[in-house]
């Protein structure tokens, strides 16, 4: 393998690794946000469950208050009935009392449903709080792991950049401008020829390009422009 190929491959390996680390480092803040957003949704679930309990309890108190109000009305009607002498008036009062008692019965049925709802609300709150406690532990661990990863990646990248200076010096200066441009793109700037095709774009190379590459010359793909080398060139 020609010296220029070997030196450039060493630099490329280091640079591609640094690119992967940098990409991973950029992903970490988004991953942390996803973790915290999920935790926030679970906190909202707990808050909504508590609010629902308060709403149901208010409904129960309203029903109880209405029942007491109607019971007082019934007692008042019963007091009046004792003083009524006319039969028609008495019947009217009894009908009104029966109507009010029927209304109470309906309210008591509604109250029972609210108590069933309250029981369901409390179970939902218990479930939400348990889920939140578990998620808080998991979120704390995940964020801690991501923070540690970020620190580790930054340290590795700093070390890689220092080593790169030495690798950079070894590369033929005439090829560095092209390499520097290609390393910013996807794929390998310097790629191996596979069965007469470019290892980057996988399209067929011209016979002259393959011949030049076999001689160990600095050659680029006829189609994508990436640097290519023949694996057996010496």
For the chain, what are the domain ranges?
Answer: 13-171, 177-229
Residue stretches of the chain with pLDDT short of 50 = 233-234
| The pLDDT value given to residue 233 | 44
The CATH T-level fold of domain 13-171 is: Helix Hairpins (1.10.287)
Q: Are 179 and 187 in contact (CB under 8 A)?
A: no
Fill in the DSSP letter of residue 204. Answer: B
Place of tokens 């990248």: 157
Measured N-to-C along each axis, helices 3-81 and 87-170 cross at an angle, to the nearest 10 degrees, of 170
Q: Which helix (H) or strand (E) is 192 found in, with range?
A: strand 190-194
Q: Are 151 and 62 in contact (CB under 8 A)?
A: no
Tens of pLDDT along 65-108?
999 999 999 999 888 888 877 888 889 989 999 999 999 999 99
Whole-angstrom distance, CA of residue 182 vs CA of residue 198 = 15
What is this structure's pTM?
A: 0.73
């Amino acid at each position: 393998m020609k010296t220029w190929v070997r030196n450039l491959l060493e630099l490329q390996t280091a640079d591609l690794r640094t690119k992967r680390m940098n990409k991973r480092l950029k992903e970490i803040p988004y991953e942390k946000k996803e973790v915290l957003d999920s935790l926030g949704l679970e906190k909202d679930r707990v808050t909504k469950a508590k609010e629902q309990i308060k709403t149901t309890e208010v409904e129960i108190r309203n029903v109880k208050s209405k029942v007491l109000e109607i019971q007082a009305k019934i007692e008042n009607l019963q007091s009046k009935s004792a003083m009524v002498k006319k039969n028609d008036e008495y019947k009217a009062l009894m009908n009104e009392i029966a109507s009010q008692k029927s209304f109470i019965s309906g309210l008591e049925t509604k109250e029972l449903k609210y108590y069933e709802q309250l029981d369901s609300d409390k179970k939902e709150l218990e479930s939400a709080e348990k889920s939140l406690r578990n998620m808080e532990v998991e979120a704390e661990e995940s964020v801690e792991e991501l923070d540690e990863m970020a620190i580790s990646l930054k340290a590795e990248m700093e070390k890689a950049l220092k080593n790169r200076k030495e690798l950079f010096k070894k590369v033929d200066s005439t090829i560095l401008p092209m390499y520097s441009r290609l390393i910013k793109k996807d794929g390998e700037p310097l790629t191996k020829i596979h069965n007469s095709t470019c290892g980057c774009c996988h399209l067929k190379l011209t016979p002259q390009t393959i011949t030049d590459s076999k001689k160990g010359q600095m050659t680029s793909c006829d189609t994508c422009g990436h640097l290519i080398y023949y694996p057996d060139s010496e």
